[in-house]
Structure 1
Amino acid sequence: MPPTDLEPARMNRKKGDKGFESPRPYKLTHQVVCINNINFQRKSVVGFVELTIFPTVANLNRIKLNSKQCRIYRVRINDLEAAFIYNDPTLEVCHNESKQRNLNYFSNAYAAAVSAVDPDAGNGELCIKVPSELWKHVDELKVLKIHINFSLDQPKGGLHFVVPNVEGSMAERGAHVFSCGYQNSTRFWFPCVDSYSELCTWKLEFTVDAAMVAVSNGDLVETVYTHDMRKKTFHYMLTIPTAASNISLAIGPFEILVDPYMHEVTHFCLPQLLPLLKHTTSYLHEVFEFYEEILTCRYPYSCFKTVFIDEAYVEVAAYASMSIFSTNLLHSAMIIDETPLTRRCLAQSLAQQFFGCFISRMSWSDEWVLKGISGYIYGLWMKKTFGVNEYRHWIKEELDKIVAYELKTGGVLLHPIFGGGKEKDNPASHLHFSIKHPHTLSWEYYTMFQCKAHLVMRLIENRISMEFMLQVFNKLLSLASTASSQKFQSHMWSQMLVSTYGFLKSISNVSGKDIQPLIKQWVDQSGVVKFYGSFAFNRKRNVLELEIKQDYTSPGTQKYVGPLKVTVQELDGSFNHTLQIEENSLKHDIPCHSKSRRNKKKKIPLMNGEEVDMDLSAMDADSPLLWIRIDPDMSVLRKVEFEQADFMWQYQLRYERDVVAQQESILALEKFPTPASRLALTDILEQEQCFYRVRMSACFCLAKIANSMVSTWTGPPAMKSLFTRMFCCKTCPNIVKTNNFMSFQSYFLQKTMPVAMALLRDVHNLCPKEVLTFILDLIKYNDNRKNKFSDNYYRAEMIDALANSVTPAVSVNNEVRTLDNLNPDVRLILEEITRFLNMEKLLPSYRHTITVSCLRAIRVLQKNGHVPSDPALFKSYAEYGHFVDIRIAALEAVVDYTKVDRSYEELQWLLNMIQNDPVPYVRHKILNMLTKNPPFTKNMESPLCNEALVDQLWKLMNSGTSHDWRLRCGAVDLYFTLFGLSRPSCLPLPELGLVLNLKEKKAVLNPTIIPEVIAGSQEVTMNPSSHAQLVGFQNPFSSSQDEEEIDMDTVHDSQAFISHHLNMLERPSTPGLSKYRPASSRPTIIPQHPSGCDGTPSTKPQWNMEFSRKGTGREQSPLEMSMHPAAATPLSVFTKESTSSKHSDHHHHHHHEHKKKKKKHKHKHKHKHKHDSKEKDKEPFTFSSPASGRSIHSPSLSD
């Protein structure tokens, strides 16, 4: 079977395979983008592009480009009018006549649709015919200039307009527009080759109102005013070859700041935010210096621009020589909590400038290398900036995230290799989406993919050393840098593309080490390792007998064979042992260095060389072991569950100096609620040298232990006396000192302790009165007048503490809750919340943190039955116009209300927002929240689950989200959470249907389709679920027949129906079975749709344009052309009339005898179908424009 989508020849780099082989029959060398009119009022854009291409094959007669949403007016090649056809199968994935509702079916069809326009397979939505006058020119491989005029009207994706609804001109209103999108989404705002592997130089021109500023990639060459001085044109040149996917644009009335430390860096922000911009970006030059130093390589571009915009798609988006940030990252010097987060965003975007923008990728399979390297160098920056503790805490956090995700969903594969289409070759059969394309991936999966990529880079560093790692990066950058300066040798530019093979080759050349086993373990297969450990001490032999088991049968796990480090802290010091984990070995004997000698007083040496006195009274008299750690350096992607005694965890918490070990021991001590654990945790809280995040975790652990020990607890509530001692007045312990946040460590502790204290419960499972009064006093006496920092995050945490103190209401005789009969404690809480909310309206806090906490607290009061459950307040706060954090908090409450109260009305309200809200990020978040906190799941009975909801969600993911890949994948995730992979249970039993399996030439009963194939109908409609067989697409999902059981009675009843229709299996009009395959054509996947539907562009005919031209006779009749489709590609030929009535006259029924000897079928699929398609209908071709489905007849293909 021919390879279908991302050509295996270049996708799966064979060991001998060196260079980059382009899937396109031409090389793009330069592109001009000119946008000469931007109308903010109408949200429209008009412009043209000009692509300079060099044919690489002599018989190039079709040029495929990417373009979505754009209305194409005219195409010229070398000033000659060119015919073009536009078709976008992703607009409507499954045809609207299809009664299919199962997700397997949708995901197959969606992956096929994305493949059909995938630039990495040489495809595209726009297909242009080279005029016959230029054929001789093309044969000489001379340059072609393609000029395309286009416009965009109210784009739904790719370009986002923000037009505030206030008085004044557009500039005064702060109206702006910027490009955005997930992965390669540049096709949404201008025609291009939207692939990360097609590099070229750029000239970008934008004409805007005089009060506006256009920011784009490369150097600003000049700004030219029009004669009337009302408009100006910004001319940018990007001389470094760059992929279209890394081109961006931001236009608005920006204020401009040239970086005082680096004059080639310019910052842009919306009006009146300049003071915040100055503070926020004042640190950026240090990030530049750090990266240039470790990579021993200069920043690759001649300039760098940061633009801060509103309603951002993501917080950070990196493009060639510029990054677009959310304006919500800006902050003043008074804000503590946002500062590290914003700095991290700036550093992340700069790391991606080197790896991601300057160095691009060869194919989607190589994405992990770029994400891994940029994440790895960003980690090095974190280690230097925030210290080793913060870095190790971050690595532990990332590791926990990826482990939890893989165990939940079944694995993340970094380097997918696609085999020959058999189910067992599918690398991700456990997922409900295809991983062949970034555009079919769940957003959460992609986030975890990036997380895993940088953790694997860290594993490679552990194997070859950091020094070699940085040498490899330097080598990649040096090669790319040399290639980028080759202005007239565009074949050299492939050195700027990284591939998995090339990266591994560099590692082997630089370090001389073979890391193939590591790659095989973590990159070529998915899953993490799950260890269970326990031990016994053998006193006679003075040996530690360690038992380590693995679970490698659960989903998302894999078997680990290799070295594993174990650290044992003994009385005589800390000792590292490397165990070899073999296939079957469980027990490992580790000799101990110390004899048990508790009576001798001597300091005990720790891992870091420090010697400390310990109280050894708690430990086992016979054993010299203090604590044991498995894989302390996190050099395996693993989850470890280790059993050791409570006193060992307590020693580990007190004396181990590694923050990860301390976090692990805090987690373990939750299971040991004893006075000794309480003491260990209290000691940690008091230790000022201890890392602040460990102390914060200890607060929550202490609250849990106190609740478990509630009957035996003595003294004041946990942490109260400690907080009083640290933060309250000596003379009046219930009054907190004036705020002074100069010590960030104690600031974080001061705002965390009350939140943890509020979780304390007495024997009646209520929050102790003493604690609530204490928290209310903290709020009452809070004084920030002398503090140089804002206390908004601190006050927000106090509200969170009030919310944590709320316990379920005790109702008497189902009495209705009113404000009059409220519990007095709850009344106090509600009054505080109301006061805070009202104060916020007068004096808003930074990022409205207090409103956010108040909304969450009100929802807690509702859920606990203290105030009537009502979503009206949240719905008003969720409306467009409020700050985004407030909206998300309010929407979270509505999602929760929908689940708890099973409210169909609120679910509809949420779904309406998903379809119509102006902010893409908010729509994405609602889908995300509904998926994480669903109103029901596939195994539940729920009144919300009905046929109308299924249809609504199906429509949403099928056609309602075609303008935003991320949104569509979010809709798929939600559909999967609610209904699973197979047909939703709430749908009525379907009528019988038939699947035509072309591969095995037999019909299979499918209970999920209402029959669409009826003898004598106008058109033979292929069952879309046979795409996989029809077009050679490797099915990444189990078929729907496997998913759903068929009632046998129904099967017997349908025997006659099946035999009646078997003769329809092979007909001349069955598409995709041509035996002609020209040498020059590449296989393409285009899903087949029936004609004559709702007029959207996806219903237009799917043409395959790569016809061969043999000999010198270039002119071809329509018949010849219809006889040469690319192999395994469906080709539908329609008349210019929208109906297909003429078509029905041309059906010739070939009745093949269908013998029921199954043996004959078994080997049939190995051979290509040699079905003769000479009798294709001799009809002229139609050209369709993307313009909202209206058909424009440009010159005919047959000339």
Structure 2
Amino acid sequence: MTDESPSAWFTLTHQRNVVEIDFAGVITASAFLTIQPTNPSLQAIYLHASPLMTVKNVTLSSATTVDPLHPTPASFALVNPFQPLPTRDPPIDMKSHPEIKRKMWATMAEADEGELAISVSGGWVRLQPAPGQDSHVAFAPIHVQVDYQLVIGGDVVEGIVFKRPGDAGNEYTTHPHDPNKVIFYYLQANPTSVQHISFAAGPFEMHCISAEESHKPIIGFCLPGELEWLENSTSFLPRVMAFTTELGSYPFTDFKIVFVNNLRTECVTAATLAIVSSDLLHPPSIIEQAIEVRKTLSLALIQQWIGINIIQRTFSDTWIVNGVALYILGQFLRHLLGNNEYRFRLKKDIERCVLQDQGSQYPLCMPGIIEPPDAPTTAFINLKAPAVLHILDRYLAKAGTSLGLSQVIPRIFMAALSDALPGNTLTTGYFLRQCRKVSGLDMGTFADQWIYGSGCPRLSVRTNFIKKKFTVELSVSQTIPAIEYLNSLSEKQQQMAIWKRPTQFFEGSLTVRIHEADGAPFEHLIDIKTSNKTFALPFNTKYKRTRRSGHIAARFHKAHTEVDETLNEDEDEAQLQAADRAGIFAYPPWEDEDERRRWKVAEWDEGEANAMLGEGGGYEWIRVDPDCEWLTVIEFAERPWCWISQLQGDRDVIAQIEAIYNMRMYPSPVVASELAKTVLVKNYFYRVRMEAARALSLYNTSECDYIGYFLIMKLFQTCFCYASTTSEAEAPEIRCRPLPNDFSNIADYFVKKSLIAAMADLRDPATRSVWKNVRIALLDLIRLNDNTTNRYSDSYYLAAIIAAISNAFTISAAAQGILSESELESEQLMLKEAKDVLDRAMTVDRLVPSFHNVVTKAGLQAQIKSILAGQRTNDARELLSYTREGNYEPIRKIAFDGLLLCKPPGRSGAVDQYLFDVIKYDHSLTIRRYVTRALSESILVSLALGEITSAIPLPGVLDLTDETEQMRTQRAEGQNNAIVKALRKDFGNKLDVKQLVQDNLIESVTLPDMEIRFALLKLAEVISSSTTEPLPGNIITLTTPLIETPVAPPPPKIRISMSGGGIVSQSQPTHESLMEESQPVVPRTIPKIILNTKGNATANKKKK
């Protein structure tokens, strides 16, 4: 906001609010504001006020020591900027969406200036002696009292969530006049941004989570009946407080967490307070939600340090505030859940970040932006910012002299508590300066690459072991997908994407860890300064043969005893070390030959074994960037036994995950056997075992003799079912009769669910349908499920089985076409059986609800998938009952998704009318917004699925031999324009839908909810072309009166007597307002001074 704006001519120095809440839906309140003028031209104060409230009275006062002004009613005006569209000829319709959009933006700009205008003209802006400085003057403060009332009733009002933060504790007294009322006093002593002031009122039950003297008290509030779940869900919060306090003192006096129903977002954080959805509460019997709840609630408490007490100075600094909070959260989760969980999540976050940052994203920090980031941009910032801080921490710790961010973050927290951080606002520059101070490193290159630049590199690594020189030649080449993406755009699109500023080249140190023949790791640091370079990395050991750490390799070592006899003592020691490493992840039952035969454990053939054992003095495996110091994708091709050695010999979770990812590229039964052994060995981290289980489904091919099919069924039957009567049964003969549920081993529980998901991926390559005995096994799992002796809930387990059944029984129309008549009849019988099983599960869930109705959610998703695959009748009535009010909101969202996927706009007039009635009248604002957004998305999904046939271009032959970049761009734009034109033509015949959209769009202009307005506007843009906005009519020009510019009053006229007479002023000053501007000031003449030498002083011809 510019300094010339009238809204910048005053500052708000203090605010006090008195709010009386009637739970019938009426809020009566008074706001007491202290305004400090900063410009003498101030005539009106503009404040933000909801047009839904009624302003009863506005009073002004100015209690100064000299000439105080007593409370006086003031003139005010409450304006609603959201006015109906004007009536004109031609009338405004849906094709006028460009004009409607322009008016919406203008209305929002007007609302940003303030809806409540209060007049302060007439002497309220005045000067007074500055406190403690009689020779200086300052503007007198103005006290404004606004009395208002908000009648909510049954309407949906955004921002009304009925506990206000208090630093001095809660004072609780009975109302002096009405014994049925209670008064709570709250005081916010710390300076806090207005968006971080919240309160909630309700019949809460209170639980003191922690009252130890070692840290600040933590208090929880919930609605009646949820106290036991509150105690279970928040028991870890004292550990969060203790962990974060080690970085800096808690900036407030306590922390309160309130759980309420029907919250718009999952968690809203305010000063000393977090308002959280009660959906996050869970009993001790729930496993899955316990992990996610710890993440959400921990972040809410950590944000009290940074996010509430410390905020960003500009919108471009949002990344550092969000990033530091999420980085601390990651460190706490490492402390709470273990290093393996932290490393696994870090690897997954980096993979997602690299996948998204391929040219379509903006940099983390864009100096100069004037608008806050939208929801998708904020989600990407929250993903990339903590990852960038992780690599910055590694950079500071390795290249500098500090301990990384563990020294930077406490300095920032200390600066905020000691008022050394101006306004408690953090900037990117301040953060980088602190990093430079503690490490002594220049942060310019790092910041330009990862903070002020976008994109992530792609590294391609190739190795070559030179036996004569005992060195490894490592070739590293770098490509930037973001640059390639932008270069593929047209010139016009490139100009629009100039703000994305992709980094041209990433440079820095890359760590290469070589596990040599004896298994000892040696790290090498290579500097990446060019796009392509080969590095010669020396070896430190010189053994004649590589000692593989795997048991498969050990079997071939045993077969070459004549060679082993020539080994020296060092090599013997290396072999013992390799055997010791392999023993950590060994599976002893497979040492027996009969057991190996029953499991069909494959071994390398003679050629592969000789190649593996003949790598004289070679390395076992190589890790590139083992500490995740780069946000990159590394393409590294190695031989399969190297990945097996890495899986068995490296204890790092990331190394094991990378090995499994790369092993999937080799369709070998040996690799499949190693993956199966990984599932069986419980020394592996459970998430590694889950990844191995899912990877086994890729080996369900004839090339691997369907070994993946056999191993998945064998694993599930062995680990989670009653023992089979035939130990050497083939895959189609394996029968799974599940044991009663026992989820006491959490790791085995998650592995069990992964195996069930993998079973649904076992498809017959000939028919593209899941093997029959696999589908029977999945149905038996839900039929024979027994949870009577299990102390944990099986809700999520049943949902996983239902999802697997849905995937297993879904067959494409093309796959059904190749089935014979008997096979098709058998498929229909099995499909009916599966449908009955799922319907029965959903019926039971209605009678005995699962936790958050997860069984019904999975069943609805299965029904929708069957409808889309043409296996179930497209009957909207099956979904409509789940969309009605009163159902759990996530259930309603899934039902609306299915309704719009199966019956997109224009297919059914009754469904269309129902959807728009939900948008207008539903009591849940969340549902109204969700359905409005889903309308336009469902049309685009129908277009992508080819259901709008007129929008699909006809096939043809194109000559692309001499096609230039400009021609290719023109062809792509032409195709897009043709698709848009065909889509709008298709909806041109659907007049009922267009009329519904038009009526709701025009009506939404007067509604205060911005999301619904813009979602309807987007829908209109999709289905309708636009018309040019007509020019305004005749313009009447009025001449404005000339207003003279006020000037300062001249000094008074004085006559001075030179003979010692008194000095008399011709005009004595009076106490009046110096800033009155109701009348223009007329300039006076230049003052005259008359010197009288006769000894008499006169003034106005009167003798003194």
| CA distance, structure 2, for counterparts of residue 48 and residue 92 of structure 1 | 30
Q: Does 1:530 align with 2:458?
A: yes
CA contact 1:924–1:970 (8 Å) conserved in 2: no
Instruction: Tell me which moved more, 515-524 or 959-968.
Output: 959-968
- Residue aligning to 1:553: 484
Instruction: Tell me which moved more, 899-908 or 54-63.
Output: 899-908
Q: Give the count of matched residue pairs.
A: 910
Instruction: Tell me which moved more, 269-278 or 641-650.
Output: 641-650
Larger C-alpha radius of gyration, 1 or 2?
Answer: 2
What displacement does 1:248 show? 0.8
CA contact 1:531–1:548 (8 Å) conserved in 2: yes
- Residue aligning to 1:1122: none
Q: 1:814 to 1:335 in 2, by over 3 A?
A: closer
Match of 2:282, SS state, is coil
Structure 2 residue runs of 5 or longer lacking an equivalent are 62-70, 129-136, 487-499, 547-562, 587-603, 726-734, 945-975, 1048-1072, 1082-1104
Q: Does 1:287 align with 2:275?
A: no
Match of 2:809, SS state, is coil
In structure 2, which of residues 344, 355, 377 is the aligned counterpart of residue 445 of structure 1?
377
- Residue aligning to 2:924: 919
| CA distance, structure 2, for counterparts of residue 1078 and residue 415 of structure 1 | 45
CA contact 1:703–1:757 (8 Å) conserved in 2: yes
CA contact 2:479–2:531 (8 Å) conserved in 1: no
What displacement does 1:807 show? 3.3
Residues 1154-1183 of structure 1: CA deviation (Å, up to 9, x unaligned):
xxxxxxxxxxxxxxxxxxxxxxxxxxxxxx
| CA distance, structure 1, for counterparts of residue 1077 and residue 845 of structure 2 | 74
In structure 2, which of residues 380, 391, 408 is the aligned counterpart of residue 472 of structure 1?
408
Match of 1:702, SS state, is helix
- Residue aligning to 2:45: 63
| CA distance, structure 2, for counterparts of residue 66 and residue 862 of structure 1 | 49
In structure 2, which of residues 1030, 1039, 1060 is the aligned counterpart of residue 1011 of structure 1?
1030
| CA distance, structure 2, for counterparts of residue 792 and residue 510 of structure 1 | 50
Higher-helix-fraction structure: 2
What displacement does 1:260 show? 5.0
Q: Does 1:462 align with 2:394?
A: yes
| CA distance, structure 2, for counterparts of residue 310 and residue 160 of structure 1 | 14
Q: Does 1:702 align with 2:638?
A: no
What displacement does 1:321 show? 0.6
Q: Any residues of structure 2 matched to 1:220-299 within 5 Å, and which?
A: 220-225=170-175, 227-259=177-209, 261-262=211-212, 264-293=217-246, 295=247, 297-299=248-250
What displacement does 1:547 show? 3.3
- Residue aligning to 1:505: 433
CA contact 2:257–2:273 (8 Å) conserved in 1: yes
Residues 232-272 of structure 1: CA deviation (Å, up to 9, x unaligned):
22221111121110011212221222225448322111111
- Residue aligning to 2:687: 693
CA contact 2:459–2:632 (8 Å) conserved in 1: yes
| CA distance, structure 2, for counterparts of residue 95 and residue 516 of structure 1 | 58
Residues 639-686 of structure 1: CA deviation (Å, up to 9, x unaligned):
334433444444434433332333333333443322123122212111
Match of 2:351, SS state, is helix
In structure 2, which of residues 501, 526, 538 is the aligned counterpart of residue 579 of structure 1?
526
Q: 1:291 to 1:33 in 2, by over 3 A?
A: same
Q: Does 1:565 align with 2:507?
A: no
| CA distance, structure 2, for counterparts of residue 469 and residue 797 of structure 1 | 40
CA contact 2:361–2:455 (8 Å) conserved in 1: yes
What displacement does 1:1075 show? 15
| CA distance, structure 2, for counterparts of residue 629 and residue 548 of structure 1 | 16
Q: 1:493 to 1:55 in 2, by over 3 A?
A: farther
- Residue aligning to 1:730: 723
Match of 2:301, SS state, is helix
- Residue aligning to 2:35: 53
Match of 2:148, SS state, is strand
Q: Does 1:378 align with 2:378?
A: no
Q: Which amino acid aligns with 1:479?
A: A
CA contact 2:210–2:219 (8 Å) conserved in 1: no
Q: 1:559 to 1:279 in 2, by over 3 A?
A: same
Q: Any residues of structure 2 matched to 1:794-833 within 5 Å, and which?
A: 794-808=797-811, 823-833=828-838
What displacement does 1:308 show? 0.5
Match of 2:187, SS state, is strand
| CA distance, structure 2, for counterparts of residue 956 and residue 696 of structure 1 | 49
CA contact 2:156–2:923 (8 Å) conserved in 1: no
- Residue aligning to 1:31: 15
What displacement does 1:970 show? 7.6
Q: Which amino acid aligns with 1:701?
A: A
Match of 1:717, SS state, is helix
TM-score, normalised to structure 2's length?
Answer: 0.74
What displacement does 1:311 show? 0.8
Q: 1:830 to 1:256 in 2, by over 3 A?
A: same
Q: Any residues of structure 2 matched to 1:491-890 within 5 Å, and which?
A: 494-539=422-467, 541=469, 542-551=471-480, 552-555=483-486, 558-563=503-508, 564-572=510-518, 573-593=520-540, 597-598=545-546, 611-612=581-582, 617=609, 619=612, 621-622=614-615, 624-706=618-700, 708-709=701-702, 712-713=705-706, 717-730=710-723, 734-762=736-764, 763-808=766-811, 823-890=828-895
Q: Does 1:894 align with 2:899?
A: yes
TM-score, normalised to structure 1's length?
Answer: 0.68
Match of 1:579, SS state, is strand
| CA distance, structure 1, for counterparts of residue 741 and residue 1044 of structure 2 | 81
Q: 1:494 to 1:549 in 2, by over 3 A?
A: closer
What displacement does 1:759 show? 1.6
Residues 1111-1131 of structure 1: CA deviation (Å, up to 9, x unaligned):
95622579xxxxxxxxxxxxx
In structure 1, which of residues 52, 62, 76 is the aligned counterpart of residue 59 of structure 2?
76
Q: 1:926 to 1:1019 in 2, by over 3 A?
A: same
| CA distance, structure 1, for counterparts of residue 916 and residue 198 of structure 2 | 31
What displacement does 1:62 show? 3.9
Instruction: Tell me which moved more, 872-881 or 309-318.
Output: 872-881
What displacement does 1:560 show? 2.9
- Residue aligning to 1:1115: 1078
| CA distance, structure 2, for counterparts of residue 927 and residue 692 of structure 1 | 41
What displacement does 1:448 show? 1.4
What displacement does 1:713 show? 1.8
| CA distance, structure 2, for counterparts of residue 147 and residue 1115 of structure 1 | 24
What displacement does 1:329 show? 0.8
CA contact 1:64–1:124 (8 Å) conserved in 2: yes
In structure 2, which of residues 72, 94, 119 is the aligned counterpart of residue 129 of structure 1?
119
Q: Which amino acid aligns with 1:406?
A: D
| CA distance, structure 2, for counterparts of residue 153 and residue 610 of structure 1 | 74
Q: 1:915 to 1:724 in 2, by over 3 A?
A: same
| CA distance, structure 1, for counterparts of residue 460 and residue 646 of structure 2 | 19
What displacement does 1:23 show? 8.9
| CA distance, structure 2, for counterparts of residue 570 and residue 321 of structure 1 | 54
Q: CA RMSD in A?
A: 4.4
What displacement does 1:925 show? 4.3
Match of 1:233, SS state, is strand
- Residue aligning to 1:141: 139
Instruction: Tell me which moved more, 239-248 or 253-262.
Output: 253-262
Match of 1:140, SS state, is strand
**Identical counterparts, % of pairs:** 24
What displacement does 1:867 show? 2.0
Q: 1:657 to 1:305 in 2, by over 3 A?
A: same
What displacement does 1:50 show? 1.2
Q: Which has the higher contact order (CA 8 A, sep 6+)?
A: 1
Match of 2:860, SS state, is helix
CA contact 1:923–1:967 (8 Å) conserved in 2: no
CA contact 2:689–2:751 (8 Å) conserved in 1: yes
CA contact 1:415–1:524 (8 Å) conserved in 2: yes
CA contact 1:50–1:147 (8 Å) conserved in 2: yes
CA contact 1:257–1:278 (8 Å) conserved in 2: yes
Residues 1004-1060 of structure 1: CA deviation (Å, up to 9, x unaligned):
xxxx624324xxx2448xxxxxxxxxxxxxxxxxxxxxxxxxxxxxxxxxxxxxxxx
- Residue aligning to 1:178: 161
